[in-house]
Chain A
Amino acid sequence: MSALTLYQLVALMLLVAGLYGIVQRRSLVGMLISVELMLNGAGLSIVAASQLTGANAVLGQLGTLLVMGLAAAEATLVLAIIVVVSRRFGTTKTSEVSTLKE
């Protein structure tokens, strides 16, 4: 098995853990943690592919930096949404936050 395959399998494992978590978790914070896991797997996959093949290594690393920046922006917005939801509904359980309008 080549080195690239091993790195891709680790990234795939992170994706699977994140997908499992986002379906199984019952609170918004738990789902946010799962999304961060998946984004990390994506970053690892991009860097491994650009470092271990003949692809443009600068592009790969800057692409992962972009993913990290997007993850930070996404976490900020999700934090604000979670604060608003918990003020309005008193909980962040996904089963109870199911109405569009009160």
Chain B
Amino acid sequence: MEVLAKVAFAVYALIILGGAVLAVGSSSLVRALVGLIVTLFGVAGMYLLLNTPFMAFMQLLIYVGAVCVLVFFAVMLTRAHGEGEEAAPAPVKQYLYALLAGLTPAAILSWIILKHPLASKTVPLEVPIVELGKGLLEQYFLAFELISVVLLVAMSGAVLLAWERREKK
């Protein structure tokens, strides 16, 4: 079982790596979106390995189901087709800055992670879904209500932003 878990972890890590490279490196935005979806599936697999099936389900439902559709709408509404804005290669300076921006936190954080490893369990315990529901309705009630207010405000704000322009025409 131990070996099988390691193999599954390596497979999911490779899926995440490939998807992330496609998501940030592809010159076509639709392909980048496919890369993002692949990455999200890989992270859902990681959640399953961590023994949190509810989080894996929510990952697929919220990210793959809702966020990716929104990004796809953004791609369609701006006509960002394959020959769009990302097709021409960026100036070399931009790649250098991007590498610097990525590698600096990577170096610092990986040094901290490897220098001070925390003792970790080998087999994570599954939290029953009843506990999560109780947490939402008892201890973390305020956060639960606030996130619904944030979603409502974001939704009405989005409608308002897109509507005002149409009336002005």
Q: Which residues of B contact A84 (CB under 8 A)?
A: 161-162, 165
Given A8-B113, A12-B106, verify A73-B154 contact (CB < 8 Å).
Answer: yes
Complex CA–CA separation, A85 to B143 (angstroms): 32
A15, A30, A53, A91: the one contacting B119 at CB < 8 Å is: A53
CB distance from A80 to the nearest CB of B (A): 4
In the docked arrangement, what's the CA distance between A7 and B102, Å? 18
Judge whether B78 and A20 touch: CB under 8 Å. no
What is the interface of chain B, defined by CB distance below 8 A to chain A?
A: 9, 13, 16-17, 20-21, 23-24, 29, 32-33, 36, 39-40, 43, 46-47, 50-52, 54-55, 58-59, 62-63, 66-67, 70-71, 73-75, 77-80, 84-86, 90, 94-95, 97-99, 101-103, 105-106, 109-110, 113-114, 117-122, 124-125, 127, 131-132, 135-136, 139-140, 143, 147, 150-151, 153-155, 157-159, 161-162, 165
Beyond the given pairs A2-B119, A18-B24, A61-B132, 16 more chain A to chain B contacts, judged by CB atoms under 8 angstroms and listed by A's residue number, are: A1-B117, A13-B16, A13-B17, A14-B20, A16-B103, A17-B102, A30-B86, A33-B36, A36-B67, A47-B55, A58-B139, A62-B132, A65-B58, A69-B150, A71-B63, A77-B157
